[in-house]
Structure 1
């Protein structure tokens, strides 16, 4: 009996003073937090058409042209390349795309951006981008917003199977139509 009480006390003390049990260190929040955007946007709709997972960098007083250089392939966000999931076959910017997961890249331009769906997944930035792995390239229409967005954002709007994906940062908004 004394041995079992002593064992319990030793075990309890080991738990209290053990760094292994309570020593987890959690990382600080990411400087460009990960986010997701879906369509349809209602949380009550279980049958989604599209989902984009991406990181949201901040402008922090920097000009957009410095962060997203015109004419160069961009990962469409920060950190890992953004990934877009189509849950059924769609028409993306007027071109057919099979259901599946793709990396989402962009080439910024003045009046239009080239939006790229690529088969390479789980890559950091656009360092491993290969044009030979593109599924489609479409043109995204550029417009200007009256309100400036500090964080890069992707949102959807639309009705039924007809959606528009909007990429926004600073006062720049790039739109691509998607039909299910």
Structure 2
């Protein structure tokens, strides 16, 4: 079995593909007695998952964390911070990790607060939470939680 199995999350979460607004495919690394600071160093661009760069597809134009984004597929990167994270949409697809990340291909960079939860997640996870006018894309690992608002 893959050490960082691939997973997918979408919104809405029902099975009607024709009504999907967003889908994300990503690898799920595990802490395995390592610290989040070791796996996702502060101030460094990271792939936001494991293996290939995370890929997010918007099925219609959206507002992603305050930035207008055209429908399409993008790679997702993050820059972890102590107080806030920078979440990056990049037009270069099919990248392995962040080794070949090219800032000039960025479509948007948004900054969101670094939140926390009392429970720890062993596996990196992405989920969508429905809110008025859209959803929050929530990324969580260990006790860190980062939410990006998406309006449709």
TM range (shorter): over 0.9
- The match for 2:47 is 75
3-state SS in 1 of match to 2:104: helix
Alignment of 1:128-143 (within 5 A): 128-143=100-115
Q: Could you list the runs of 5+ residues in structure 2 that have no partner in the other structure?
A: none
- The match for 2:120 is 148
Max Rg structure: 1
Scaled by the length of structure 2, the TM-score of the pair is 0.97
RMSD value, Cα: 1.2
- The match for 2:15 is 43
1:34 aligns with 2:13: no
| Residue deviations 1:117-146 (CA, integer Å, cap 9, x gap) | 001100100011010000000012211111
- The match for 1:126 is 98
Q: Distance in 1 between matches of 2:117 and 2:48?
A: 19
Give the Å deviation of 1:42: 2.4
- The match for 1:172 is 144
Scaled by the length of structure 1, the TM-score of the pair is 0.82
Q: Distance in 2 between matches of 1:38 and 1:161?
A: 16
3-state SS in 2 of match to 1:84: strand
Q: Could you list the runs of 5+ residues in structure 1 that have no partner in the other structure?
A: 1-28
- The match for 1:90 is 62
Q: Distance in 2 between matches of 1:146 and 1:89?
A: 35
- The match for 1:9 is none
Cα 1:120–1:106, aligned 2, differ >3 Å: closer, same or farther?
same
Q: Distance in 2 between matches of 1:44 and 1:178?
A: 20
Instruction: Give the helix-richer structure, 1 or 2.
Output: 1
| Residue deviations 1:78-124 (CA, integer Å, cap 9, x gap) | 00000000000000001100000000000000111000000110010
Q: Which runs of 4+ in 1 moved over 4 A?
A: none
